[in-house]
Amino acid sequence: MKRTLLLLVVITNLLAASSACLAESRPRYGGSVRILLRHKVTSLDPLSESDDPATRDRVAGLMFETLTQIDAEGHTRAKLASAWQADAGNRDWIFTLRQASFHDHSEINSASVAASLRSVSPDWKITVNSQQTFTIETPSPAPHLPELLALPRYAIIKRLPGDVLLGTGPYTLAEWQPGEHVLLAANDDYWNGRPFPDSIDFRTGLSLREHLLERNLTLDHAAEPSPDQLRSLEQANQTLLLSRPADMLLVFFPEPGAKPRKAVDPRLREALSSAINRATINNVLLQRKGVPAGGLLPQWLTGWEFLFPASQDMERGRRLRADANSTQPLSLIYDSSDPVMKMVAERIAVDAREAGILVQTFGDPHSNSRSGRATLNADAILLRVALSSLDATAALTELADELALPADTVSAIVKASRPEELVEIERSALADYRLVPVVRLPQALWLNSNVHEWQQLPNGEWRLDQLWVEGSR
Amino acid sequence: MDIFLCSSVSFVVNRLSSVSCQRQHRRRAPCYTSPFPSMLQATIRSYLHLSAFLLLIAFATSHAQQPLPSPLADAAGLFAQEILSHNGLPETVMVSFNNLSSLSPSDQSAATDAILARLRSAGVHVVRADAAAELQVTFSEDWQGLIWVATFKQASQSNASRVLIKKIARPQRTASLQSAAVTLQKTLILSQGAPILDLIRDDQTLLVLEPEQISIYQNDSGRWKFVSALPVAHDHSWPRDLRGRLQGTARQFTAFLPGTLCTGTISPPQMQCRHSDDPWQVDRNQLAFFSSSRNFFTGVLAGQNAGASVPPFFSAAAWQNGDKRLWLFAGTDGKARLYQSTLTSEPVIQTDWGSDLVAVHSGCSSGWQILVSSSSSSHSDSIQGMEIVNGGAVPVSMALEISGAVRALWPSGEENMAANAVVESATGKYEAYALTVSCNH
């Protein structure tokens, strides 16, 4: 209580000065925007492994651009591609490029785009038709290809020797200390006009709490608070951006692979799912900032998550546990760098115990990355997965990739042209209880009052195209 | 699912026996001589006429109070049709409805009735229980609109269900405009996806300055019909928050863009563009230099005030009020500066205005008003009329609410039109409005 009060007082005092700003509405050029990121960014390559891909993509997205993008209304818009069209079977897609340059001032053309896309999807046949047009032929129909191409991993990148990556975006890389600091400078030759700020300075692996205690938050323009700080910030009338509940926390039972690990009985997995009190986790631990999760995609995005119930059924849990006749304890690993994950994992263990399942929780700082969890010898892992797209097909494709779902599942998602097909894919992916959705959380952002036109999409993505800050010209 | 307001309604519609209304044939009554005096007859006749009149009014009133048909009823009927063709419903089915959306009770009721009516008309018997098949219709929604989901289950296949999902547009809501002492009104001229920087028009022709072209429209029975476009040639990328100014007449015009000047005619349609740092006509009485790579005027003035400079600004107005000359500049530092009589005088500072302002001569009140955009950075903007009284700004109109962000506010060259405003709506469309100021006596 004392700590919360202290935090509130510090916030109020420190930030009161920054709230007294001048009014204006037209954007201003200049200034450096300083952003604190909770997670460390150890690589800027959208194809690299990362503990928190969403954070990496926030930084990388300002340098590397995709052919298309999905706007805040959910519409697919042109980006590096100015136009596209598909054949009747949705397998052959012809794209036309706009005039744009990489950061080394070389023009983008069909050949450079084809080389970039081939490194992501080697099974696509890409034909260069002219300097500005090319054709992508997919192995099976891909009715949502433009939406898929808006995913960060399809960013158009010119790869030079020495791991030098060049993009076409509004900012160029000026300085980089992996895991600590990324400084981006405005690209004066950007095809869509030079951005307003002169630079963006990302400080990574820093929490808002640390900066509050250091009393230097007035220098920052944006920071990511943790859920337990939201109430204090709201009470201090600070500007908070909350996305829709987009990040999914789920219990993931890995396939027993190379590790000497016995597969968990499917009835025990279902028993655990039935025992979890998702409503309490949301209401108590997450202070009602999230929603219980039953499906892979959120209700607000699809409107059909209600088809996958998330209510607790302890009786069923006990019955299934008795049927499984297993007294072996289940190990559940969570990301130890995220305090929310620890709380949720411990609560799951409490619920499981009530159903007669012994769950032992362990923390690990790299359990959220694919390579990190491959090294873990655990029965289950509590994962936090961001919603990477506002298009259901693209979001489910990325989720399937992140959770290493079978290739035929990914192929079925790409081929799906109707929502009913995606429902069936979700249903079959959840049927064996290897994936047990628990709860969804919003992404939160604190903004200084001198920051303008910071756009947060419903899934938590940032759009900083029109960002500008006061005190600059 | 505890975040949603859930209401579940089960419907029981027993087989409806068709009710046939038999018409009662009236027998002609025998004719008696009147037992009443004629005066009483007249009174009764008047009473009957009055009653008939009142009944007519009552009928008309009750008819007027009938709820309007919901726009969702048609969509619901089509959805029911898809359920029938998708699932091939058996003769008897249990139907339940569930609302997980923000649908109003009246819209929900209308949709429910339409679905049931369509099912009944197809010969489906809807029962409460003991049916071999169950149809659940859920009125759900996603972040963009309504999602209706029909789940069909057969008792013999307890775990299998078929799903039908349909996206439905949300019913539109309309907003009203407020008015006050001096009234600002806006009239939509054009709405389009491409950014609009400025426009000029006469009765027959409308020219729209866009980032890459000037679009020419002709008046076609009161509607603007696109005719052709003249491309804007420029040798450098446009800056962010691109601004532009279009001047002249609809026949012969000049377009100012950052670092670029274009001149042209529409008859014949032609335009030449060149690199230029010539000053822009900010206002009828003011010329100023615009930064070639930014979104503001540098502060260096030209024309009558050549040689003078003020802090960089986004917009400006200059006018003569009696024997006093006034200048107003919306600075890039968020401060609006009012200079009186001379540009070397100490300005009066205003800090709660937006970046766009324009002076208009309406003849109302003191004669001149300043239209000012609001300082809100949200997606809902407003424009308000101000007057300068004793060196200070006084509001003289209600704020004209704008659904979107004001992207441009330039004086209009037309008779009776105060200014042109360009608004970027929440949907990303650009809307050009003509603004007028009328006196409220």
pLDDT tens digits along A315-370: 999 999 999 988 889 999 999 888 899 999 999 999 999 999 999 999 998 887 77
CB contact under 8 A, B143 and A74: yes
Asked if pLDDT for residue A196 goes beyond 90, the answer is yes
User: Smallest CA–CA separation between A303 and chain B, in Å?
Assistant: 5
Arch. (CATH architecture) of A68-157: Alpha-Beta Complex (3.90)
User: How many angstroms separate the CA of residue A413 from the nearest CA in chain B?
Assistant: 17
Nearest of A231, A439, A270 to residue A341 by alpha carbon: A439
Work out the average pLDDT over A169-183.
95
Spell out which residues of chain B touch residue A473, defining contact as CB-CB under 8 Å. 296, 312, 332-333
| Chain B partners within 8 Å of A292 (Cβ) | 1-2
Give the burial class of B203: count Cβ atoms within 10 A of its Cβ; 0-12 exposed, 13-18 middle, 19 or more buried.
exposed
Read off the pLDDT of each residue in B298-312 and give the average, rounded to a whole number: 90
pLDDT in tens, B29-41: 333 333 344 444 4
Instruction: Give residue B6's pLDDT.
Output: 33
Domains of chain B plus CATH, in order, are 7-11+70-168 (3.40.50), 183-438 (2.130.10.10)
Residues in chain A closer than 8 A to B164 (CB atoms)? 420
The DSSP code for A306 is: G
Chain A with chain B: Cβ pairs closer than 8 A: 127
For residue A277 the two structure tokens come to 């009190």
> DSSP secondary structure string, A436-461?
EEEEEE--EEEE-TTEE--EE-TTS-
Q: What is the model's pLDDT at position B357?
A: 93
Q: Do B143 and A452 touch (CB under 8 A)?
A: no
**Is the Cβ–Cβ distance between A35 and A202 less than 8 Å?**
yes
Answer left, alpha or beta for residue A413, where phi above 0 means left and psi between -120 and 50 means alpha. alpha
pLDDT the model gives residue B181:
58
The candidate with the shortest Cα–Cα distance to A371, out of A51, A3, A149, is A51
Q: B7, B136, B142, B152: which to substitute to probe chain A, counting the most A Cβ within 10 Å?
A: B142
**How many angstroms separate the Cα of B152 from the Cα of each of A320, A418, A430, B11, B73?**
27, 17, 20, 16, 21
Confidence of residue B176 (pLDDT cuts 50, 70, 90): very low
Q: Which residues of B touch A196 (CB under 8 A)?
A: 240-241
Give the length of chain A: 473
Contact predicate B93/B131, CB 8 Å:
yes
The pLDDT value given to residue B23: 33
Q: What is the pLDDT of residue A98?
A: 94
Verify whether the Cβ–Cβ distance B428 to A71 is below 8 Å.
Answer: yes
DSSP assignment string, A90-125: S-EEEEEEPS-B-TTSPBP-HHHHHHHHHHH-TTSE
What pTM does this model have?
0.72
Please state the rounded mean pLDDT for residues B404-415: 84
pLDDT confidence band for B165 (50 / 70 / 90): very high
Please tell me the predicted confidence (pLDDT) of residue B376. Answer: 65
Q: Residue range A181-208: average pLDDT?
A: 91
Q: Is B406 on the interface with A (CB under 8 A)?
A: yes
> What distances in angstroms separate CA B312 from CA A26, A51, B330, B332, one per listed residue?
13, 46, 9, 6
Looking at per-residue pLDDT, the higher value among B4 and A14 belongs to A14
The minimal CB distance from A27 to the residues B295, B406, B427 is found for B295
The continuous run of DSSP H or E covering B82 comes out as helix B72-87
Q: What is the pLDDT of residues B362-404, one digit of tens each?
A: 888 878 889 998 876 556 788 999 888 777 788 888 888 888 8
Give the pLDDT of residue A38.
Answer: 87
Task: Give B411's Cβ-side CA count (13 Å radius).
Answer: 24
Q: Which residues from A are below 8 Å from B163, CB to CB?
A: 304, 307, 420, 423-424
Indicate the fold that domain A247-441 takes in CATH.
Answer: Dipeptide-binding Protein; domain 3 (3.10.105)
Question: What's the pLDDT band for A287 if we cut at 50, 70, 90?
Answer: confident
pLDDT value at position B158?
61
End-to-end CA distance of chain A: 43
Q: What tokens were used for A112? A: 């450079």
Q: Quick check: B149 and B137 in contact, CB under 8 A? A: yes
Task: List CB contacts (< 8 A) between A100 and chain B.
Answer: none
B354 pLDDT band (50/70/90 cuts)?
Answer: confident
Which candidate from B3, B237, B294 shows the least CB-CB separation from A190?
Answer: B237
- Asked if the model's pLDDT at residue A246 lies above 80, the reply is yes
Q: What is the average pLDDT value for chain A, to the nearest integer?
A: 89
Taking an 8 Å cut-off on Cβ atoms, the answer to whether B406 and A25 are in contact is yes
- Do residues B328 and B337 lie in contact, with contact meaning Cβ atoms separated by under 8 Å? yes
Query: What is the structure's pLDDT at B347?
Result: 86
**Contacts of residue B216, Cβ cutoff 8 Å, sequence gap at least 6:** B205, B206, B207, B226, B227, B228, B229, B230, B266, B269
Domain coordinates in residue numbering, chain A: 2-16+27-63+169-243+449-469, 68-157, 247-441
pLDDT tens figures, B210-224:
999 999 999 998 899
Q: Does B237 touch chain A (CB under 8 A)?
A: yes
- State the amino acid at position B187 in one-letter form: T
Task: Return the number of other C-beta atoms located less than 10 Å from residue A324's C-beta.
Answer: 19
Q: How far apart are CA B239 and CA A188, in angstroms?
A: 9
Identify the sign of the CA torsion A398, A399, A405, A411.
negative
Mean pLDDT of chain B: 79
Beta strands at A239-242 and A444-447: parallel, antiparallel or unpaired: antiparallel
CB contact under 8 A, B334 and A23: yes
Name the percent of chain B lying above pLDDT 70. Answer: 78
ipTM of the complex: 0.79
Across the interface, of B146, B149, B354, the residue whose CB is closest to A24 is B354
CB contact under 8 A, A302 and B147: yes
CATH superfamily of A2-16+27-63+169-243+449-469: Periplasmic binding protein-like II (3.40.190.10)
Compare CB distances from A306 to B100, B334, B427 and report the shortest one's residue: B100
Cβ separation of B164 and A420 shorter than 8 Å? yes
B99 has pLDDT over 50: yes
Please give, rounded to a whole number of angstroms, the shortest distance from the CA of A260 to a CA of chain B.
35
Question: With contacts defined as CB-CB under 8 Å, which chain B residues touch A303?
Answer: 101, 140-142, 146-147, 149, 165
B151 has a pLDDT exceeding 90 = yes
Mutation to test the A interface, candidates B8, B103, B143, B298, most A Cβ within 10 Å: B143
**Shortest CA distance from B101: residue in chain A:** A303
* Residue of A19, A22, A25, A461 to mutate for B, most B C-beta atoms under 10 A: A25
Which residues partner with B328 through β-bridges? B317, B338
Residue A261: count other Cβ atoms within 10 Å of its Cβ.
15
Cβ–Cβ under 8 Å, residues A55 and A61:
no
Task: Express each pLDDT in A390-433 by its tens digit.
Answer: 999 999 999 999 998 999 999 999 999 999 999 999 999 999 99
Question: What is the DSSP annotation of B349-381?
Answer: EE-S--S-EEEEE--STTSEEEEEE----SS-E
Q: Which of A195, A253, A224 is nearest to A27 (CA)?
A: A195
Peptide bond before residue B268 is cis, with ω within 30 degrees of 0 = yes
Looking at CA atoms only, how far is residue B163 from chain A in angstroms? 6
Q: Residues B218, B227: contact at Cβ < 8 Å?
A: yes
